[in-house]
Structures are given as C-alpha cells and as structure tokens.
Structure 1
Amino acid sequence: MMDLDSAFNHLQHVDRQHRVWADYYSMRGRYQLLTGDLNAAEQSFQQGLPIARLYNDTYTTSDILLHLSELYEQRGEFAKTRPLLDELLTIGQTNQVGTYQLKALRTLSRMEYRLKKPEAAYRYLTAYIELSDSLHYNEVTAKLHEMEEKYNLSEAENKLLVLQRENQQKDFALERNRLYIGLLIGIAVPLFICCILVFLLYRNKKKLLVQQQQIHAIDMERIEHLHRNSLLSALLEGQEKERERLARDLHDGLGGILSSIKMDLSRISTAMSADVAQRKGLAIVVNNLDDAVEELRGIAHSMMPSMLTNYGLAEALREYCDKLKRAGCPIFFQAFRYENSMEQPRQLLLYRIVQELVNNCVKHAHPKEILVQLQQTDEAITLTVEDDGVGFDTAEPYAGAGLRNVAMRVGLLHGTLEIRSDIGVGTTFTVECPITATNDTLRKVG
C-alpha cells in the first residue's frame, strides 16, 4: 500500500487522462480486491476503465474487466458480470488475447453453473477447452476430465434429487460410480504423465543421436580437410625440394661449365690479336655467354631465392620487384612494419603467391603499374597485389591454374583471399594470414 501511495504522489503532476493512470487504478483495484475492500476496488476499476478504453489499451482494459467481473461475481451480481465478460471475450477475439479469453470463458462457465444452467455452463466450458487446448494441451487434459466429471456428477445429482423419493437405492449406485470415476482418473493421470515422460525421453534421446551424427560428420569433414592439406603440403614440399635441387645443379653444374667456356674463349681472343674480325666474333660469343650465365642465375634464383633464406620475405620481394623493374615491368614494392618473424616455409608460400599474382598481372592484365605491399600487424600478415589493368569478372570461376594455385597456398596458410576487380579499372588481390600456423598440418616446404 505504501508503494501505491508513493506512486499516487508521484503522478500528481501527470494529466488525469494520461494512460499511466489506467495502470495505477488497475493495480490499486487489484490490491483492494485482494484485501476484501470491494467497494473501493469497484471505484478504482471504474476510474481506470474509461482511460484504458480511451487509449485502446487492450491489456489494461482486459485486466480491469476481468477483475471487475470477479468482484461482481463475489457479490453475486451476475447481471453486472455478464456484460463485462462479453466485452472481454470480444476484445480477446479481436486482439488475439488468448489468456483473457480463457479466463472470461472460465468465469462464464462457473457463473452459469452457479445459476443452475448446466447446458450453458457446458457450452462455455467446451469453448474454454477448445481455446486452451492449442496453448496448454498437457495441463488442460487433466482439467478436462475433472470438469467432465463435475458435469456428469451434476447431472447425476439433479436426476437423483428428482428420483430420490422413488428409488433410494440409486444413492449407492451413484457413490459407486463416483468411486469408479475417481479410480479411473487416479490411474489415467499417472499413466498419462508416464507416457509424456517416455515420449520426452525418446525425443531427447533421438535429438542426442542426431547431434552425435552431426558432430561425427563434422569431425570426418575436418579430418578429410586436414588430410587434404597434409597431401598438398607434401606435394609443395616435394616441388620446392626439386626446385632447390635443380637450382643448385644449374648454378653449380651448368653455370660452372659456361663460366669455364667464357674463360677459354677470352684466352683464345687474346691469342688471336692479329685477326680483328675473328676477335669481334669471339667478343660477341663471350657477350652471349654472359647473357646466358645471367639468365641461368635468374632462373636458379627464381626457383630458390637465396635472398629470402638469408634476409627474409621483405627483402626477397624487394629484390624480385627490382629485377622486374630493370627488365621494363612497371612494378613497385612497399613494406610496412614487417619484422621477419614468420617461419621460413610460410614466407616461401607468400613469395610463391606474389610470383603467381604478378605473373598473372603481366600476362593477362596489361597494366601500366603494379603495386605490391607487405604489411604486418601484431598477429597477421597482409599481402596486397594491385594493378590498373583490364580487370575481369570475379563472378566467373577461375579459368586458369594460377589463381587455383594461389587459393590452395592461401588455404595452407590458413588465410583468406579477397579479389576485387572492375573491368577497365584494375584488380586488387588481398591475402591475409596469421603469422604462425594454427595447427600442425602445415609441414615445412623447401
């Protein structure tokens, strides 16, 4: 009550027709109804009802109508109760307020029963059950048996009152029937509860089995993915080892032979000082050998970059871009905050990705400028290759093996590949991957 008085004082500055007054009068009336002060409760409900109707406040209006009908029912003023319950039913049907419809139907059934109108009581009870069945099937089932028993008992009692003087023996039969019905309900209700529990147990067990199957499928997919990554890693490892061997053989074997031939030709050229024409011819051969040796070194370096092994990814990419720029390719390289903290096999994968992307740019995009950026954050490496070439439609599947190889290497790095391209504008490839491997499936490459 102190809270209601405090709320009343707080609402003094609010307009009396404000909808909050409807809530206040509803709460005050419910409290007074609970304490037995029926006259004061009626006055509170009558003050709040017009305000709730004014604002079309469905729930507050329904709540006041319900408790006001309960008040009149306690007084036995059924003539006042019925219009309130009819209005409550109309509101509930219009606004789909099922709870108040149930309470109104239940009150009407109870009122008709008290007025000795079992048919009307049964009609309202049936409507109540039909509405409640869709919302609370398990709870309503037991109540349905109980209300049907009361209805049957009421019919039996009415007939008994009429035939009591004619046949007193029906009292015993009635008591026996009541005992049988009670016994039946006593057996049926626990049996029904047991059936519900068995059904719930079966459903939960079925759900658990389905979840276990889904988890197993996910695990199998993960194992298959790890196995596929392991095979790809082994394949790349073999490729890189073969490249290293070929680079070493080319550099140490064929490179040494070409250098020896060059020295021999230089000595022959010196010895042939008299024949100028032959010396010029030999000089051309020596220059061609120099070009062959340089080309051989470039091939060996491309197959296994020593700069990456000795100085890290940033310097290897810088040397790679500088070499292409000297060859006439419009390429630029930038590195930001790179600390060379990544394992060398992962650096080599990124190096191969740059080689593949730049090769695609030069071969297909015909750019005026290519930009390669390498950036490191606390836990990730971001690699960007951007060109201003012809672009392509990213919605189409990869036509060549180059981008598929790039995507495969990005997957081995547990990273992401983002491709943005506009036809006639250019293309941007962005690769982002963690600095360290997230599991032990990535084996050493090279």
Structure 2
Amino acid sequence: MHNQNNITLQFAGIELGGHFKNLQYALNDKTKYNNLVGNTLNIQLASGENAIYVRAVDVNNQLSKATIKLHFFIETPFYKTRWFWTLIAITITAIVFWIYNRNRLAKQKIAFQQQLALAEQRTKITADLHDDIGASLSSLQLNSAIANQLMSKDTKKAQLILSKIENQSKNLADKIGDIIWSMKPGKDEFMTISSRIKTFANDILGSTTINYKIEVHEKLNTLIQDITLRKNLVLIAKEAINNCAKYSQARQLNLTLKLVDTKIELTITDDGIGFDTDQQLGNGLANMRKRTQELNGIFNINSSKNGTKISVVIPLVP
C-alpha cells in the first residue's frame, strides 16, 4: 500500500572469527552505501520498485563478498498517477469551457433582452408618432385648407386660423424634438435630462415673474438610459411647469429630480393660488397620471390656496 512505505529491518552479522565490525546498506543505488548504526534499519521507501542492498564490514574495513538484496514494491498513490492528473486536466478544461459558455450565453441573453427592450420602445415611439403627431399633422392640413379658403373672404378669421397653425406647428416641433432627444441618451451636456428640463423652464418661465429652481441629481443624467423613461419624465416635468405658468399665479416654482434607493422621485411645488384637484384642468393632469402609470409609478397631487405639490415616484427600471 502507498501509505505503508515505512519499514524496519533488523540484521545480525555472524562471523566466528570475531572480526565483524558493522553493516552497510544502500537503497536502489549500489554505489552509495551508508553505515548502519546498530543492527536496525528504519527507512522510508518511494513508490514503485525498491531494492535494499546490505553488506558486512570487518574490523580491517574489509567488505564481505556476499551482499544481500531485498526487493520491495510500493503502490503509487492515485493522486500521483498519470491517469489521475489527466483526469484533473480534463475536468479543469471542462469547467473552464462551461464557465466560458455560460458567460457567453449570459451576454447573448442580455444583448437579446436589450434588443427586445429597444424594439418595444421603438414600437411605443411609432405609436406616439402615429397617434399624437399624426393627429397634429392632420389638424394642420385641415386648418391650412380652411385658412386658404378664408384669405379672400374673411381676413380676420384667416389670421386667427394662421395663428392657431403657428401654435400647432410649434407644439408639433416640440413633440418631435422630445422624441428625438429621448432616443439619444449620452454624456453630451445638451442631451442630459437636466439640460432639457432647465431649457424648457427658461423658455416658459423666463418671460414671467415666476422665479424657479431646478435641481436634478447629476447621477441621473447618465443613469437613466431607457428611452420611454427619459421621454415621460421630461414630459411630466414640462406639463407641470407649463400648468404653473398658465394657471398658478405663483411667485416661486421648485423642481427636484433625485434618486432614492432604486426609485426616481420627481417633485414640483409652487406657491400659487392652487386649484380644486377634483376638477379636471385640461388634459395636463390626465397626461401626467397616464405617463406615470406607463412607468409603473405613483402619481400624487396636493393643492390648496397656499400652492400646489406634484409628486411622482417611479422605479429606476420601469
């Protein structure tokens, strides 16, 4: 057995003339003898074939003519055999190959999911283009035809319709701009959520007496990559700012967009005259609620004579 390779041998040198001195032994190599102290040999044998040679030495250091040769065979431990290490190499190779394939498949799955998510977002954008922008274009076409007919009959009515066409064109350009912007997330300063909201607030509130403060956590500018999430967040903020400018008679508007754990919190407050939240104020509130629901979020609004607070909480991954 490979774990039974320590042996003890006892020898006796017999020489009737009384000239015996000691014994010598060699392990496997007959050219390398060692003196044996006493008559007991304790030795550890290696795996495989082993040969122990023993000879006597007399008081005159003369070597005996006879040499004893003892044979021993020690089994090689399985963990030192060639087949064992071959099996280990095959096992390690198989594990490495399995890990490589698992990681490759995981990356392919993530890439596929990203492509699927992008396809879904593009489908939503296509629906927006068809429903919202398509309706706006139809209205523009109809109003243009009416204005053209009235130019020679009623100039004042024609001017009113042309003014309406101008506003519709501006709104349409804004909608197209929002969609294009939402599809280009990046680190460009002018493409961030922060810059988009601040630019709109300046355009709407810059010519009013309403002071405003916009705070967007810097991390969100690069963290939010989902097209639908980017678009709806900005549209909710724009709707709230627009309503404040039109109806609130406020002196101050504050907008905060921040990340709390794994949720995005958008809060808009003003110190205006407030309104009855049970009564619908145009389509603005309904649109904000709808966009929040599309993102699996929670929409709350509180309003009184001291002002209005809109709170939107949306998961980072809708």
TM-score range, shorter chain: 0.3 to 0.5
TM-score normalised per structure 1: 0.31
More helix by share: 1
TM-score normalised per structure 2: 0.43
